[in-house]
Chain A
Amino acid sequence: MRKQTLQFLYASLAAAVLLLLSIGVFTFRSLRSLIEQSDAIAHTNKVLFQTEEVISTMKDAEIGQRGFILTHDSSFLKPYVDATQYLGRQLKLVDSLTNFRPQVVQRQRVRRLFYFAQQRDAHIKQLLAASLEPNRPDYDLRLIALLNRGKATMDSARIVVDSLQQTEKLLLEERIHHKDQLSANTLGLFTLISLLAVLMFSLAFYLLIQEIRRRQNYERQLEKTVSDLLRTNQDLEQFTYVVSHHLQEPLRKLQTFSTRLVQKHAIELGDNARFLMERMGSTANQMQTLMADLLVYTGLGLHGDTTDFEVQDLAVVFQKTVENHEKQLSAAKAMVQFDKQSWPVLGEMEQLELLFSHLLQNSLKFVVENQRPHISVHTFVITGEQMPFATQSQHDERFVKIVFTDNGIGIDMQYQDKVFGLFQRLHTADNYPGTGVGLAVCKRIVKRHNGYIHLAATEVGAAFHIYLPLAN
């Protein structure tokens, strides 16, 4: 479901982007066509205008010529002189306008217009010359003949221009129609694609928001679960602590009554009953030890927040622990070697002492027969990267590595996880007394101090590696 939504989201986003791109390309091409069409229309208009100008200039020349013939006043010749000047330029312009056209017919017409304009100019010159000889007997006849020829040429020019304009007008109509169609199409398609793009973006946006909401919900749920879990854990620890605390009371009384019974009524009981009572007593004692250990173990977690931790000197902690076990150590004739490095670690003095105390007791308990216990503690600083089981965030931190070794009977590496379990024992209580809580307590303390403890492989005895974060 989630994967599908994501795929759909990506697809609609991609579609929206593609649509936007096509809008760009399409708009560019349409605009270019529209501009081309507009240029063509403007061109046609220019041709129409210029051809009309040619005719009008030719008329101007004719008007000037008529005035002069009638009056012989040279001022009438001014429009004629101007017209002949303009006409050349105008004709060239028309020529250039139609030059690149593929329409051969229009070109031919322009050439004919050229021809008629030249003819007309020649006629006017002849007429002007003839009008200056009024004494010639054929004056009138010549004049009339020349006038007729001029009119004929003019009519022909008119016809040529008309046909030229007719063609251009048709072209203009066609082009305007084309342009209108193009505009309508462009607008329609542009609107359609834009709407589609908006639709796709809205869809993608909707999916995105849904996905974000879903994740927010999930996050909230996760937070709630985590806090529930933490609370349940705390409740459970509290429960274990309170239960073991309260169970101690009746147990203690059972022990007191049974010892009282044995003591006060020894004679009446007889050997057999006394033996059974003693067994009961030692079982009760064992249970009491277990509960006391359980109390210590669960009590570790109830010691408030780790924010109360203070900087402790590792050398001082270890020195104190050794002093506390002076009697035991000297009774066992144990040798303790410690490099006395004053590394600062954040923690609780009592718990750190308990950690070393359990390790020391362990070493003193599991000794090889007829051999002096030899315990050595070496410390050095390493980075998180060099530490096994380090998380990514611990890589830049610095840790104190404590190598705790003895020359005792050692622990088989196949039990490396089991030895840290609560009440886990590798030997019978008859051979080595104890409840199997020591290393579990060690692990708990180290964990509470954000460190790691593990059993290390060694040739002689047992070796524990403990990592504690170095205080700044």
Chain B
Amino acid sequence: METDVLIIGGGPAGLAAAIETATRGLDVTIVDESSSLGGQLCQQTQLIRPLPSVYQPMRGFELAKVLTEQINDFTVGTLLNHRVIGLYADGSVGLSDEEKVFPVKAKKIVVATGAAEQAVAFPKWTLPGIITIGAAQTLVNRDFVMPGKEAVIVGSSDFALDVASQLLEVGVEVKGIVEKNPAAAAREKEKTDALIGRGIPFYFNSFIKEARGNGQVEEIDIEVNGEILTVSADVVCIDGGRSPILDSFYQLGCSFGYQKELGGWIPQYNRQFKTDRENVFLAGNAAGISQQGALLLTGMIAGISICEDLQTIRSGEAEEIRDALWEELKLSEYKDVWEGRTKHIEKFSSPVLKDQFIS
């Protein structure tokens, strides 16, 4: 199989890159290991904001639909339920549908593999019923399944508090939100206030001492100010933050740098969202954890840069659009994330890790 642009990951960033490239006449193929496009947007029922100026504010699943519809009018091939499993010697990407393996020869590759949630370990954290906060949201909004009756949430990011509200809306009792710091991690204070207003207890300076249960979680001990509070819970949601998914970058041989504000180790890339490997671009959370609107912008920048390379757009025009998108990116992401990204780009020519595997 041959294609102009192979996009690995059909989430917001991958779709944004697909729109930019497909609408400028390129033949685009998107590969995604799940059974639908949209990535994690599909189960986001909260309002996503800010979004790039071309989009109205809308809920995540609506945005997934809007993005998917935009590529329908163009030559975009979608390989759902397919995974990238490696590279061939000639640079073709090896895809698998779990039965066969076949090569795809692409002129340009965009790696938009997104991020993975991280765990917060405590004794017996592996008990069934202890899941990531994202898994809880997926169960409720995608699978339409109650994850349990009584939930405790460990962590208090904006996302965790969004999901806490969504759990409440379907009738899960949220027994408490456990935060190791003295204040909620959520940047939007009204989310914390709304939950406090609904009588949800926040346990600050606290952590999970232990989970217990026979074959599945039944109760947990929360250490609050040196005292142990035992709470019955049949679901515990862990909000441990996210880190970029790097597997494809290892396989492609990209260099890496460490940028705490962007989620840790990420590939080195430049203003074009191009890595140091020939023809390999990246976008989205894989290029550093940020907000949904910013992820779209990174995909758009990568897409424009590919069009420039493949000469479906004039160089001057590409530069102009890219500058405008970078300006918008600056306004769309949190200041510390933006500063981390700027620092990261400056290090493009002097990567920390080259030809090494991060274990």
Asked whether A and B interact, the reply is no
- Contacts from A to B (Cβ < 8 Å): none
Hey, which bits of chain B sit against chain A, CB under 8 A? none
